[in-house]
Amino acid sequence: MSGGDGNARSVEREGEEGMWSGDELHDLITIKLTRRRSVSPATLRKLSEAFNPLALIPARDDLIVQGVKASSCLLLLNGFAARYRLLRNGRRQFTEICLPGDFVNLGSLLKKRQRQGVVALTDCRAASIPHARLDRLIDADGDLVRSLWLDTLVDGAVSREWILALGAQSAKERLAWFLCELYCRLELVGRAKDCCFQLPMTQAEIADILGLSTVHVNRVVAELRREGLVEWKGALVHLKDWGGLAALAEFDKAYLESPPE
C-alpha cells in the first residue's frame, strides 16, 4: 500500500510534492468509472486533466475536516482513509472506508458541508478537482453524471451491507464480511490478487469499523487463524479459504459489481 515495508504506514517523502504521473490518475479514473458503465475516452481524458497536482497527506491527518465546506472533490490515489465520527462516550465509529480510486467526498459537489471527517489511515496521495470544473464536465456529458451517480449508489449498497453486518451478524461473521469486502474492492482497482492483500490497519481501527472492542477483534482474528480461514502476518493478509469466509459471512460480491445488463 503505502511506501515500503518496515513501517507499513510511512512513505518516503522526497521533494516530489506536486509531481505525479498523469497517466496513473487517468488509469485509475478509467478503471473506476468504466467498470460499471461506459464513459467516452474523451471525457475521461478531460476529466483526468482537470485535476490539480497531487497532495500528500500523512497518516492520521484529516483529509476532510468535519463541518468544513468543500470546494473541490478529492480522489484517493494511494493509501487508506476512513470517514468517522466521534461520540460523547469516547467511542469512534468508522462509517466508510476509502481505498485507492475512491472519491473521498464526491458528495460535496452537491452537499457542500460534510458532517463527518475523513482521516488518513496510512500516508495518502490524493488529487482534487474543483467543483466548478467537475460541474462543467458533468453538464457536457450525461454518461459522466450517470457514472458518478452510480458510484454514489454503490457506496450506498456498501453502507447497507455494513448495516446488515453490524445489526445482524456475530463478531466472527462481521470480521469475515469485512475481509471479503475489502479484498473485492481492492482487487477491483488492482491492489489485491490471489486472495492476498495489504491491510495497513491496527486491530483497534478494525474494532472501530466493526463496532467491537479491540480485545475482541484480537480474539476473533485468532479464531479465524486457528480455523485456517486466513493467514495474517503484520499488514499482509491471505484469505486461505475464500469459500469458507464468504459462506461464514454470507458474502456475495454482486453488490460491488456492474449491473449484469
Partner DNA sequence: CGACGTTTTGAATTGGTTCAAACTAAGTGG
Partner DNA sequence: CCACTTAGTTTGAACCAATTCAAAACGTCG
What is the contact surface with DNA in residues (CB under 7 A)?
6-8, 170-172, 202-204, 211-216, 218-219, 221-222, 234
Binding to a second copy by residue 38, rule CB under 8 A?
A: no
What CA–CA distance (Å, rounded) separates 239 from 181? Answer: 12
Q: Quickly list H helices, the chain.
A: 22-34, 41-49, 131-140, 142-168, 171-188, 203-210, 214-226, 242-249
Find the binder of a second copy among 12, 87, 226, 243 (CB under 8 A). 87
- Indicate the residue among 62 and 155 with the shorter CB distance to DNA: 62
For residue 105, give every residue at least 6 positions away whose Cβ sits within 8 Å of its Cβ, in sequence order, or none. 64, 70, 73, 74, 114, 118
Of the chain, the end-to-end C-alpha distance in Å amounts to: 33
Number of residues that bind a second copy (CB under 8 A): 52
Scanning residues 236 to 255, which ones bind a second copy (CB under 8 A)? 250, 252, 254-255
Of 84, 54, 59, which is closest to residue 1 (Cα–Cα)? 59
87 binds, among DNA, a second copy, none (CB under 5 to 8 A by kind): a second copy
What CA–CA distance (Å, rounded) separates 82 from 104? Answer: 9
What CA–CA distance (Å, rounded) separates 45 from 48? Answer: 5
- State the minimum distance, in angstroms, from the CB of residue 10 to DNA: 7
Scanning residues 147 to 206, which ones bind a second copy (CB under 8 A)? 148-150, 152-157, 159-160, 162-164, 166-169
34 binds, among a second copy, DNA, none (CB under 5 to 8 A by kind): none
Binding to a second copy by residue 92, rule CB under 8 A?
A: yes
Of 182, 154, 178, 150, which is closest to residue 166 (Cα–Cα)? 178
Q: Are the CB atoms for 44 and 34 separated by under 8 Å? A: yes
- State the minimum distance, in angstroms, from the CB of residue 168 to DNA: 10
Can you give the binding site for a second copy, defined by CB under 8 A? 37, 83, 85, 87-89, 91-93, 95-96, 107, 110-113, 115-116, 138-139, 142, 145-146, 148-150, 152-157, 159-160, 162-164, 166-169, 208-211, 250, 252, 254-255, 259-261
